């Protein structure tokens, strides 16, 4: 494969401007020309001969000075256009031509400015240059715009390069994160031109992107794809402050209880920073904090807020950074409620006073000001979507859950649901063992179940509780005498187990093994209670401390600070409507665009489904009566805030993973071209020309003085 040296980025406008500027010294030169005076007496003929010789030498110097000045002006005009030089690999000349697909990274980082021009404008210039080098009679080309969901400029490759160039001119950069792997796959699979035989044509993919670290850490293109990287933008890290991971804990706070709005502030820079962060709830800037962040460090800032009325409250956390601004604000929505929803997964009847379910419901819903609002769910009705509408769940008197129910439970816990699983029978003991076998690699159960199975004990051998970790967050209210009262519990039906490597024991049996344990499970938490809590089998349920223990465990496993309540720019929006209202369709975004309304499940409010947000911020939805029905938040993907850069070699090394067989053996073959900015060299050339011009002009002045003296 040969290489072709190419200078790109020179526009006609700057050439014309340079030509116009170059006309100025020409005009000055013509005006400065002086004609000789006629001398009529013979005595001065020898003077005329000497003057003619001097005039010839002066004309040569004047023309040289004029040429130096013209060339300096033209080079300066070209330097302002920031041209680049590159050695581009040229594939073997094939009689059938070749297919070229250009991927333009249209992510948020490309909207930044570099050398007075947006990186996106530079990328589009690269695309236009590549298209201009193709032969429309033989070659075919296409363009893919890389975003969260990449798209092609035209449905298939084309030889109509004018239409392709217009598509590039009309395209706009987004504030989304670019999935470069998906963009490469789309470029590799874009249909060719039906008018020509393209089965054996060479296809090259040219990826134009910046060097931001966040773009490249998860790139995994398909194997056997010929990809050339065209890297543009800053080669050094641009200092930046960014707000990421805006959360509210709990995401569905109860009226009268504090909710904590938090955000992580990241400093991408080599100097410490002390920004002031403002928290504004529904547009009212109530609180401010000043954070001290070390170089290339991060810190979390939190703001407590208490709501007096149910509703959806939008909050923004912001800072002031004069550099990159699209990541200086993060939004989050708190869905304040009069109570929190908890699913009770059971096959038992709630009215049986001899069952553990009866006492559990009584403990969760003691009166009008109950924190939790329980809903009974038969195990056969479970789905991941249904469970996602609840804050927490308790499994009690459910027996042996079938495979679909266990799969639904597994999926819901993995994405944030908190579960208390009361192992109160041998079928429940077996069900948990089956649950563990769904995906052993992702399971993080707090216990390892005993092989003996569920056990029945006599009153003489009743299992009693030992001192627990009452200083743990889940049991902090049971410190002191309250905890000692819990230890008087006796259990006759127990599920023997041992604490796993990922679990934490909260309360244990005096004979060994956990009575209550918990662990993290994906984004959720799972707690296990290893005894039948029916009053005939466990004395704990009749204790006044049982409601306290149950409320603390439910609050502990419910989604907290890791539960994301906002969408990312470029992702579809799905948000629940406010509680206690009746929607009057159609629902709009406050203007004229209608959005979809999905019915609520198991008493949950309806959900609003909308297309992806184009920018970070707050989105509000209204029904036909103008009633506000939902609030949503959209934020920048954290990867787009990382302004640290990777070198070309680092990117090439990541690009050439083992799955990239056939993409080349050396970094240079993958990078193809590494454009060199020519404007610094042009400026050096201008300075050199001006130095030479100064020396020639000074020599002329000295020579003129000598002639005058003679």
DSSP assignment, residue 641? Answer: G
Identify the residue with better confidence: 13 or 321. Answer: 321
Secondary structure string (H, E, C) spanning 36-64:
CCCCCCHHHHHHHHHHHHHHHHHHHHHHH
Residues 179-214: tens digit of each pLDDT: 998 999 999 989 887 666 555 677 889 999 998 988
Could you tell me the CA-to-CA distances from 22 to 11, 69, 71, 652 in Å, in that order?
17, 8, 8, 43
The band of 1, judged by pLDDT with boundaries at 50, 70 and 90, is very low
The band of 664, judged by pLDDT with boundaries at 50, 70 and 90, is very low
Identify the residue with better confidence: 394 or 59. Answer: 394
Q: Is a pLDDT exceeding 60 seen at residue 671?
A: no
If one counts every other C-beta atom within 10 angstroms of the C-beta of residue 545, the result is: 17
Kindly state the average pLDDT of the residues 518-531.
Answer: 86
Rounded Cα gap, residues 481 and 6, in angstroms: 82
Rounded Cα gap, residues 457 and 536, in angstroms: 12
Could you tell me the CA-to-CA distances from 577 to 374, 516, 582, 593, 605 in Å, in that order?
20, 36, 10, 17, 6
pLDDT for the residue 663 = 31
DSSP assignment, residue 645? Answer: B
If one counts every other C-beta atom within 10 angstroms of the C-beta of residue 594, the result is: 13
The band of 546, judged by pLDDT with boundaries at 50, 70 and 90, is confident
Q: What angle is formed at CA 656 by the lines to CA 651 and CA 660, rounded to 5 degrees?
A: 140
Residues 110-119: tens digit of each pLDDT: 999 988 889 9
Identify the residue with better confidence: 247 or 36. Answer: 247
Q: Is a pLDDT exceeding 50 seen at residue 586?
A: yes
pLDDT for the residue 174 = 95
pLDDT for the residue 443 = 60
The band of 626, judged by pLDDT with boundaries at 50, 70 and 90, is confident
Pairing state between β 455-456 and 311-318:
unpaired
Q: Among 419-428, 520-529, 611-620, whose mean pLDDT is lowest?
A: 520-529
Residues 372-397: tens digit of each pLDDT: 888 899 998 888 888 888 889 999 98
Q: Is a pLDDT exceeding 60 seen at residue 418?
A: yes
pLDDT for the residue 678 = 74
pLDDT for the residue 15 = 61
pLDDT for the residue 146 = 95
The band of 562, judged by pLDDT with boundaries at 50, 70 and 90, is very low
Q: Is a pLDDT exceeding 60 seen at residue 257?
A: yes
Helix (H, G, I), strand (E, B) or coil at 587: strand
**Whether 142 contacts 186, CB under 8 Å:** no
Highest mean pLDDT among 441-445, 545-549, 694-698, 699-703: 545-549
Identify the residue with better confidence: 629 or 44. Answer: 629
Kindly state the average pLDDT of the residues 40-54.
Answer: 55
Q: Among 7-21, 198-212, 532-546, 650-664, whose mean pLDDT is lowest?
A: 650-664
Kindly state the average pLDDT of the residues 286-306.
Answer: 92
The band of 23, judged by pLDDT with boundaries at 50, 70 and 90, is low
**Whether 242 contacts 664, CB under 8 Å:** no
Kindly state the average pLDDT of the residues 350-367.
Answer: 82
The band of 657, judged by pLDDT with boundaries at 50, 70 and 90, is very low
pLDDT for the residue 277 = 93
Kindly state the average pLDDT of the residues 203-227.
Answer: 83
Q: Among 57-66, 388-397, 565-574, whose mean pLDDT is lowest?
A: 57-66
pLDDT for the residue 642 = 92
DSSP assignment, residue 14? Answer: H
The band of 108, judged by pLDDT with boundaries at 50, 70 and 90, is very high
Q: Is a pLDDT exceeding 50 seen at residue 660?
A: no
Kindly state the helix (H) or strand (E) to which residue 90 belongs, with its residue range.
Answer: strand 84-90
Kindly state the average pLDDT of the residues 89-108.
Answer: 76
Give the chain's mean pLDDT. Answer: 80
pLDDT for the residue 302 = 93
DSSP assignment, residue 476? Answer: G
Q: What sign has the CA pseudo-torsion 356, 348, 427, 551? A: negative
Highest mean pLDDT among 34-48, 305-319, 551-565, 678-692: 305-319
Rounded Cα gap, residues 608 and 388, in angstroms: 15
Q: How many H helices and E strands in the chain?
A: 15, 37
Q: Is a pLDDT exceeding 90 seen at residue 486?
A: no
Q: Is a pLDDT exceeding 90 seen at residue 415?
A: no
Q: Is a pLDDT exceeding 60 seen at residue 166?
A: yes
pLDDT for the residue 252 = 81
pLDDT for the residue 368 = 58
pLDDT for the residue 666 = 33
Identify the residue with better confidence: 673 or 656. Answer: 656
In the beta sheet, which residues pair with residue 277? 289
pLDDT for the residue 6 = 47
Rounded Cα gap, residues 666 and 655, in angstroms: 11
pTM of this prediction? 0.68
The band of 305, judged by pLDDT with boundaries at 50, 70 and 90, is very high
pLDDT for the residue 470 = 56
- Residue labelled with tokens 């959360």: 247
Residues 137-150: tens digit of each pLDDT: 888 999 999 999 99
Among the listed residues 657, 649, 680, the one whose alpha carbon sits nearest the alpha carbon of residue 231: 649
The band of 366, judged by pLDDT with boundaries at 50, 70 and 90, is low
Share of the chain above pLDDT 90, in %: 26
Q: Among 472-486, 599-613, 654-668, whose mean pLDDT is lowest?
A: 654-668
């Amino acid at each position: 494969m040969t290489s072709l040296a190419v200078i790109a980025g020179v526009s006609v406008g700057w050439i014309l401007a340079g030509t116009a500027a170059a006309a100025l010294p020409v005009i000055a030169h013509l005006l400065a020309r002086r004609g000789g005076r006629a001398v009529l007496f013979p005595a001065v003929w020898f003077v005329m001969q000497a003057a003619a010789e001097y005039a010839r030498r002066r004309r040569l110097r004047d023309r040289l000075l004029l040429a130096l000045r013209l060339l300096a002006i033209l080079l300066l005009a070209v330097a302002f256009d920031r041209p680049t030089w590159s050695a581009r690999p040229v594939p073997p000349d094939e009689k059938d031509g070749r297919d070229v697909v250009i991927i333009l990274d249209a992510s948020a980082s490309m909207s930044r400015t570099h050398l007075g021009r947006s990186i996106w404008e530079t990328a589009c210039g690269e695309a236009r240059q590549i298209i201009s080098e193709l032969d429309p009679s033989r070659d075919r080309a296409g363009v893919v715009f890389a975003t969260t969901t990449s798209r092609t400029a035209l449905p298939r490759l084309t030889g109509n390069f004018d239409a392709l160039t217009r598509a590039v001119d009309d395209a706009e950069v987004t504030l989304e994160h670019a999935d470069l792997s998906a963009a490469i796959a789309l470029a590799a699979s874009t249909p060719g031109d039906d008018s020509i035989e393209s089965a054996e044509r060479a296809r090259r993919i040219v990826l134009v992107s910046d060097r931001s670290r966040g773009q490249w850490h998860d790139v995994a293109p398909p194997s056997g794809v010929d990809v050339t990287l065209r890297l543009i933008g800053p080669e050094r890290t641009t200092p930046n402050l960014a707000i990421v991971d805006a959360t509210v804990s709990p995401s569905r706070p109860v009226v009268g209880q504090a909710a904590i709005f938090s955000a992580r502030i990241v400093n991408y820079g080599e100097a410490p920073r002390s920004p002031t962060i403002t928290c504004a709830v529904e547009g009212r800037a109530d609180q401010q904090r000043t954070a001290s962040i070390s170089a290339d460090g991060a810190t979390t800032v939190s703001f407590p807020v208490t709501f007096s009325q149910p509703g959806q409250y939008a909050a923004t956390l912001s800072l002031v950074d004069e550099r990159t601004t699209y990541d200086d604000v993060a939004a989050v929505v708190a869905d304040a409620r009069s109570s929190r929803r908890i699913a009770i997964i059971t096959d038992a009847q709630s009215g049986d006073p001899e069952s553990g379910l009866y006492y559990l419901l009584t403990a969760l819903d003691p009166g009008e000001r109950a924190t939790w609002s329980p809903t009974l769910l038969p195990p056969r009705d479970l789905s991941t979507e249904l469970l996602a509408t609840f804050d927490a769940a308790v499994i009690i008197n459910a027996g042996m859950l079938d495979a679909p129910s266990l799969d639904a439970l597994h999926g819901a816990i993995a994405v944030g649901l908190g579960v208390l699983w009361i192992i109160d029978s041998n079928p429940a003991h077996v069900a948990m063992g089956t649950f563990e076998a769904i995906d052993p690699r992702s399971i993080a159960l707090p216990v390892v179940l005993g092989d003996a199975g569920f056990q029945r004990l006599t009153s003489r051998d009743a299992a009693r509780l030992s001192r627990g970790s009452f200083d743990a967050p889940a049991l902090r209210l049971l410190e002191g005498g309250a905890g000692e009262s819990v230890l008087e519990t006796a259990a006759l039906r127990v599920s023997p187990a041992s604490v796993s490597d990922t679990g934490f024991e909260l309360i244990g049996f005096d004979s060994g093994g956990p009575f209550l344990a918990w662990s993290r499970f994906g984004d959720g938490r799972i707690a296990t209670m290893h005894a039948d809590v029916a009053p005939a089998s466990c004395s704990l349920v009749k204790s006044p401390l049982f409601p306290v223990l149950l409320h603390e465990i439910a609050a502990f496993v419910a989604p907290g600070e890791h539960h994301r309540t906002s969408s990312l720019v470029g992702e579809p929006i799905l948000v629940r409507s406010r509680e206690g209202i009746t929607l009057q369709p159609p629902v709009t975004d406050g203007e004229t665009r209608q959005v979809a309304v999905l019915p609520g499940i198991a008493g949950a409010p309806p959900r609003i489904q909308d297309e992806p947000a184009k920018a970070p911020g707050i989105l509000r939805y209204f029904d036909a009566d103008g009633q506000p029905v939902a609030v949503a938040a959209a934020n920048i993907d954290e990867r787009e805030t990382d302004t640290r850069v990777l070198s070309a070699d680092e990117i090439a090394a990541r690009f050439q993973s083992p799955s990239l067989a056939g993409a080349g053996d050396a970094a240079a073959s993958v990078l193809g071209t590494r454009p060199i900015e020519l404007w610094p060299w042009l400026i050096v050339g201008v300075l050199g020309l001006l130095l030479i011009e100064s020396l020639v002009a000074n020599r002329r002045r000295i020579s003129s003085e000598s002639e005058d003296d003679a």
